[in-house]
Structure 1
Amino acid sequence: MRERLNTAPFGYLCITNQGVITELNETFCNMIGYTFEELLDTHIESVMSVSNKLLFHTYFYPFLHLNGHVEEMYLSLKDHEGKDVPLLLNAKYFKQDDVEGVDCVFMKMGKRIDYEQQIRSAKKHAEEALREKNLALDKLELLHNEIEKKQIQLMKLNTKLEKLSVTDSLTGLKNRRFFMERLKEHIALFQKNNMPFSLLILDLDFFKKVNDTWGHLIGDHVLIKLAEVLNSTFKVEDIVARFGGEEFVVLLPEANKERSKEKAEELRRTVQSAEWRIDQIITVSIGVATMQNGDSDMTIMENADLALYASKENGRNRVTHKDDL
């Protein structure tokens, strides 16, 4: 047992309550580079620096007297060349056969310090990586928010462009392109469900005279005013559009011949009685056609146009249905 203790993988020494070394093993001697004879009966503080002596008096002795033991106390001892040897100390007070002392066990700290340094270095790198990651995430979130804002702006712009593409810039009504698309849709519904609808084509009477007499700005005002009259006369589900120049079109869903003629006549009267801010009577001529089997978008437009031509030939400011020709 004594032989194994002498070469155990830890340094061992026994000191008196006053700190004098009374026993030690070969491992401890090798740790700090002294011989057995050089250390026996010397004070343990003889191999300590001033700072470690202070630590010994302020930590080691008070804890030993209070608890009877000290665990994992870190300190450095001076080797034969005066270099610091970092050690980890566990100590326990004993009393046996009127003999008192302190058993001390030392573990060399070289590798542990290296490990701790590696751990601290790894922790530092991990903290830096985490900080960089958080910065990257913050930047990514800012970028994501910016992209969302751009997407919202793009959606608004696309909506605006889409609206502009089917809107007449002067009157704010739908344009010819939009009207023709809706007309084809209603023809498809008619062919599938036999759902009737009617088409109105109206033209401002003597509009060239308005432009020639009052100028194009007043002419534009008349067109805008007519658009307002159209919007107030027809329902939301009716499709009103400027077809070109002073020509306008209206699609009346589910309207038969009689209903379409009533709405066209209502519009004619409203236009005639409206205030136009010029010394000239403003009227419209209207041609009406109701969807029939075999009609296409072109034929129903031609039928309404023929009816409009008849209204103009018969004195203007009147409504004509294609079936009445």
Structure 2
Amino acid sequence: MIERTPELMDERLNHAPCGYISLTHEGTIADVNQTFLDKMKYTRADLLDKHMESLMSTANKLIFHSYFFPFINLNGHVDELFLSLKDASGQSVPYLLSGKIFQNDSLELTDCILLPMGKRIEYEQELRSAKKQIEQAYWEKDQALAKLEQIHREIEQKQAELIQMNTILVELSTTDKLTGLKNRRYFQEKLEEQIALFHKTLQPFSLCILDIDHFKKVNDTYGHQTGDQVLEQLARILKAHARSEDIAARYGGEEFVLILPGTDGPESRSIAEHLRQIVAESSWITGSLTVSVGIATYTAEETDATILKKADQALYTSKLNGRNRVTHIVEIPE
């Protein structure tokens, strides 16, 4: 553990107009300024000696591993790395991270400045520029050419993977193009946030999966264009009748999901039943249409995977029992 002295964090740096984190060579947090703590609603004890990756989602951990550590160990610094860090409530906060290695005879730390997010394309351009500089540096270091060429190949592969990932992230939006609802990626992020909020406040929430009954028959009978119109109309119904705090998304194909914050089992079933009735009573281009619904309410023993699995199991039961019905997982005998 790093011995902390006043020299590591003076008063001006502690209240600087940007976040500051000091990392050990292994990536654990050696020190952090008050500006970052206030922004992210942590205490100093929450973060000290924790690994930096404890603040990141899986995707950001991959970026941190594949770019930050190799680059800073090779060059001694990193400029404008885009990351999203989780605050104390589990919300994602975007940052641009710039870091530099500080080293003396007895100490090696990586000092990181955290600034508000810049344009993603600027980060990609900086990455390409850094790659050219590294390549030029390799050619200038003739005595270590063989070893550096091997490092170059490894880093270039990681950079290519990171650029590809970054391009995908830039192109992806949070909205499903066909229906105008939020997409699966956005739903997954919000589900993780609801789970984090639950473990902090014990506020309940429920998850519904809605599936259009006999949707394959719609496509086979009327064509995929009509099928798309059906999906669009169902999305409009969900938008119009979901509560303002609910999160509606297209999960894939003819499946839709609803996160119902602050909602226990009986209330979630009432909401789902209301939506099912609206769908069944609406006018459709196909003449009639129904949905089946499965529900699960989050408990302390759940994970994002298990609550999805339970809601899907409840949906399957609704289908098995004749469709056009709502089933909560607690209704299924063990």
- Pair member with larger Rg: 1
